[in-house]
Structure 1
Amino acid sequence: MIRIDNKERLLRLMTIFTQETDEDHELSLDEIILRFKQIYGPDVKLNKNSLKDDINHLINHSFDVTINQEKDGLPKYYSHQYRLFELHELRMLIDAVVSAKFITKQETRQLIDKIRKLTSAHQGKKLQNEIQVDSSIKSESPFIRLAIHDLHQAISERRIIEFQYGRYDIDKKFNLSHEGSLYKVKPYALTWANDFYYLIAYYYDAGEIRHYRVDRLRNVEVMNESFPYEAFDVSKYVQSTFHMFAGDEEWIKIKLHNQLINVIIDKFGKNVDIKKQDEDHFILSTKARISGGLVNWILSFGSKAKVISPVSLSETVKQEIANMNKLYQS
């Protein structure tokens, strides 16, 4: 005969409730005893009254156990129903992981398996049909999970970091920039844009704020050297950038076709400054960082967008249009 320590029995009971029960799956005391026998063997000694005491102990210590007894004289059924995450919330987490380009294929599978364990095994099976994306766009960098942890630590503690940075060339080979020399920066924030993590940081050598794709960082080192607190509105800053290109901030005005109103609200929010110009167009007024990313964003709207000001931005867009025209004429 096998006897189980009281503490072990209580912990095992919690595990059974967590993994095997939910709002659609309940267990009677006889079924719970059967689960113990499947784990410890047929000779395990269990007492129903002890199990009832254990269940009451769990309830008294805020572990949810729902007791269902519809009619007198019928067996009671027990289940663990109220969890930290609802099923639709877990599905959103899984879809976010699958969609994130900076997470490798292997880490994607590992994270999905962990997320499914946040609910019962029965509910976890309902999370099999995650959204489908082109798996070839997933990152191949194994360094990102370590870099993200170090970067969050450095940002929280306001500590300077150093790293190497690189890009792929035409032969798909990853090459370190600046011949592998170290970048020394003040890390301000991490942001997730265009399905990638970006580090927003002050680059000492250039004396300006720059953005770095985290999956392109190598050998990130958090230094002992710290820097004083600096007010930095991450949300406002990111909203003023386009495709995560850095640049000087200026007021811009753009004439846009009414068909683009939802695109503008998606980018700037419902409080964006827009004014009707005629029956078909409106004027957008906003602060933006003048960069190649902004120019490309404007050109993506074709003839439905025209820069009003500043003149320098208008001339840059005109020159790019001329270059495109020349390219196709040749």
Structure 2
Amino acid sequence: MNEKQSTKQRLLIIRDLLKKYTDEQNELTIRELVDLYYENTEQTVGHKAIRDDLKELAESGLFDVIENHEKNGVEKYYSHQTRLFEIHELRLLIDAVSSAKFITQTETENLVNKLKKLTSYHLAKQLENRILLPAGTKTENKSVRNAINSLHEAIWKQQTIQFQYGKYTIQKDFQLNRNGDYYLVKPYALVWNNEFYYLIGEFVPEGDIRHYRIDRMRNVEVTENTFILDPNFNINHYTQTLFHMYSGEERSIEIEFVNQLLNVVIDRFGLNVNIRPHSEGTFRITTNAVISDGLVRWLLTWGSDAKVLTPPSLVDRMKTEAEKLYKQYQQ
């Protein structure tokens, strides 16, 4: 930046220097601002010009400028301390981005670097310590961000979408379902579940509600066809009863757990689940849930510490799976 700066441009540069290099713990003198101005623009500026700009920024009421005197009253320090995000809020956002498996590693780093710019240079150093996922857990699908944006737009405008859908093979190759034929769906909502984004929508050919993991969607296209949302569909009810993102029949279930699993149960079913003490070492819950492979497998995780009481159909499925597991280890 070698061209001579106008007065208005200089004012904006001073504002940006205060935003980047100052905060509640870090202040700058006019002399230091002069030096930073030269480092960033390769232009010299006088102390009086800086002082006038600081005064104009402070009097504008549009930008916070804090003036602080040294104890001896000789030198003044200036800082900008008002931020849209507090440091702990930026930590939450950065950890959310870092732990999201549907964002590629490259996009994660780009987003984190942008979030750091929302605070001062000095405070941004405190954000270096963040959640790190094991290598290979982030998606490699670079089109996810574009798909999410297209899906939000389609939901807002109530336009049908079409896309290809697939899964990985044992060779770790991505294989499209239905020989690559497109799915036609009325998009209802996006859900973030178990660290992945899902689309909930109506599968047009059959008229039933389904869910799709967005990182497994390919070539998402928004069509010109519009639709009207089913007034009887309750998105909150659907997401609450959907267990492990598997489909199935919703039923009332009763399960007995050992007391050590109380917090595990609350984490899974929420604080509103009906919990009743049973014996000295167990408790029982009653709730509505989708009877699915996901539910069965989750219950088997806890072995004999969890026992299904009702409905009989779920009890039978648990017995069948437990018997299969036993026979597998007998071979």
Please confirm whether the aligned pair reaches a TM-score higher than 0.5, indicating the same fold: yes
Q: Tell me how far apart the structure 1 counterparts of residues 146 and 29 of structure 2 sit (CA, whole Å).
A: 45
Aligned partner letter, 1:292: D
Measured on the aligned residues, the alpha-carbon RMSD in Å equals 2.0
Measure how far apart 1:45 and its partner are. Answer: 4.1
The residue that corresponds to 2:270 in the other structure is: 269
Q: What SS does structure 2 have at the residue aligned with 1:270?
A: coil
Aligned partner letter, 2:309: I
The residue that corresponds to 1:22 in the other structure is: 23
Percent of aligned pairs with the same amino acid: 47
Gapped regions of structure 2 (runs ≥ 5)? none
The residue that corresponds to 2:95 in the other structure is: 95
Aligned partner letter, 1:310: P
Q: What SS does structure 2 have at the residue aligned with 1:103?
A: coil
Q: Is the 8 A contact 1:241 1:294 kept in 2?
A: no
Gapped regions of structure 1 (runs ≥ 5)? none
| Residues 251-299 of structure 1: CA deviation (Å, up to 9, x unaligned) | 1111111111111211222221112222222221111111111111111
Q: What SS does structure 2 have at the residue aligned with 1:198?
A: strand
For normalisation by structure 2, the TM-score amounts to 0.93
Q: What SS does structure 1 have at the residue aligned with 2:326?
A: helix
Q: What SS does structure 2 have at the residue aligned with 1:243?
A: coil
Deviates more, 1:227-236 or 1:96-105: 227-236
Q: Is the 8 A contact 2:34 2:45 kept in 1?
A: no
Q: Is the 8 A contact 2:30 2:47 kept in 1?
A: no
The residue that corresponds to 2:50 in the other structure is: 51
Aligned partner letter, 1:35: L
Aligned partner letter, 2:53: D
Q: What SS does structure 2 have at the residue aligned with 1:13?
A: helix
Q: Is the 8 A contact 1:165 1:177 kept in 2?
A: yes
Question: Does structure 1 residue 207 correspond to structure 2 residue 207?
Answer: yes
Q: Is the 8 A contact 1:209 1:246 kept in 2?
A: no
The residue that corresponds to 2:251 in the other structure is: 250
For normalisation by structure 1, the TM-score amounts to 0.93
Q: Is the 8 A contact 1:22 1:81 kept in 2?
A: yes
Q: What SS does structure 1 have at the residue aligned with 2:188?
A: strand
Residues 165-180 of structure 1: pairs in structure 2 closer than 5 A: 165-180=165-180
Q: What SS does structure 2 have at the residue aligned with 1:252?
A: strand
State the aligned residue count: 328
| Residues 187-246 of structure 1: CA deviation (Å, up to 9, x unaligned) | 111111221111112212343222211101001011121221345544443222222112
Aligned partner letter, 2:278: Q
Q: What SS does structure 1 have at the residue aligned with 2:82?
A: coil
Q: What SS does structure 1 have at the residue aligned with 2:209?
A: strand
Q: Tell me how far apart the structure 2 counterparts of residues 169 and 274 of structure 1 sit (CA, whole Å).
A: 41
Q: Is the 8 A contact 2:188 2:229 kept in 1?
A: no
| Residues 111-134 of structure 1: CA deviation (Å, up to 9, x unaligned) | 111111111112222222222320
Deviates more, 1:242-251 or 1:176-185: 242-251
Q: Is the 8 A contact 1:105 1:135 kept in 2?
A: no
